[in-house]
Structure 1
Amino acid sequence: MSLLYKRITLCVADLERSLTIYRDILGFTINYIEPSAEDSFSYPVFQIPKEAKLNFATLDSPTQERTFALTEIKGVPLPKQEGIKMAASVIKVDDLEGVMKKIKALGLHITDVKTDENEYAMFNEQAFVDFDGHLTVLYQLMEK
């Protein structure tokens, strides 16, 4: 059996605003951006009303093509993502402190830094909640 985790897709209210985090700060590059067709699989999968207009962007990491996606939903309000978070993207970065300084400058909620280790590595980790309420945990490997 072959298994490949293709990508995570986040629904967002404003694509350009979200790209300030995922492209400009975290360093994902745009593979493509295009309007979604009226019969896009995103409508039934995400339970998006048909009157909404969608734009779909796929982003590449340095090691994988189209590893991250953003679906911009216009014309209907998005639900608030408050309270307990039900999922998180976990992303390795090389400069956690520098990245989180930029995230904090956007006025986003961030957690304190936590240092942890397991049998394989020592790492710092810190989380933020993006403009649409999506939780992202960033970590940086440290010398053990």
Structure 2
Amino acid sequence: MPLEYKRNTLVVADYKKSLKIYRDILGFSVNYINTSAVDSYSYPVFNIPPEAVATFVALDSPTQERTFALTEIKGITLPKHTGPRLSVTVIKVEDLKNTITKLQALGLETLEIRKDTTDGKSYYEQAFVDFDGHLILLYELI
């Protein structure tokens, strides 16, 4: 049986605020929004205390259903990471410059743009940090 990658899920403090990035700018669409039951597997997976409320937001890319998700946690303060980043989510976009301009208009931190070539393909890449501290790397093929 072939390996199948289902989705990446980010824990966020406010899914409506996060949708300004992932839906309105990056182009994901909402598949469904569901308040998680206390016995949901999300609680042990994300180490969510039982007094917190988790809301799951499944997002579709233009080419794949439920390929990305947000899990909003209310009732606790989420930690802020200040040390080395532990992961990055990589997303292909069609107009990197315009996308980054929109993200900067939200007040988000962006890193320098770079040009690179891998496997004979040239691209521009630039990362930003979302409202909850997640590093997202965007790239555009040249």
TM class by smaller structure: over 0.9
Superposed CA RMSD in Å reads 0.7
- Cα deviation for residue 134 of structure 1 reads 0.3
- AA aligned to 2:53 is K
- Cα deviation for residue 44 of structure 1 reads 0.4
Q: Map 1:1-144 to 2 at 5 A.
A: 1-142=1-142
Q: Distance in 2 between matches of 1:128 and 1:45?
A: 26
- Cα deviation for residue 83 of structure 1 reads 2.1
In terms of mean alpha carbon deviation, does 39-48 or 111-120 score higher?
111-120
Task: Give unmatched runs, 5+ long, in structure 1.
Answer: none
- Cα deviation for residue 97 of structure 1 reads 0.2
- AA aligned to 2:85 is K
Q: Distance in 2 between matches of 1:116 and 1:73?
A: 37
Q: Distance in 2 between matches of 1:8 and 1:118?
A: 24
Q: Distance in 1 between matches of 2:129 and 2:73?
A: 19
- Cα deviation for residue 112 of structure 1 reads 1.0
Q: Distance in 2 between matches of 1:130 and 1:81?
A: 12
Identical counterparts, % of pairs = 59
- Cα deviation for residue 138 of structure 1 reads 0.1
Q: What TM-score, normalized by structure 2, do the two folds share?
A: 0.98
Runs of 4+ in 1 over 3 A off after TM superposition: none
| Matched residues, number | 142
Q: Distance in 1 between matches of 2:102 and 2:112?
A: 15
- AA aligned to 1:81 is H
- Cα deviation for residue 100 of structure 1 reads 0.2
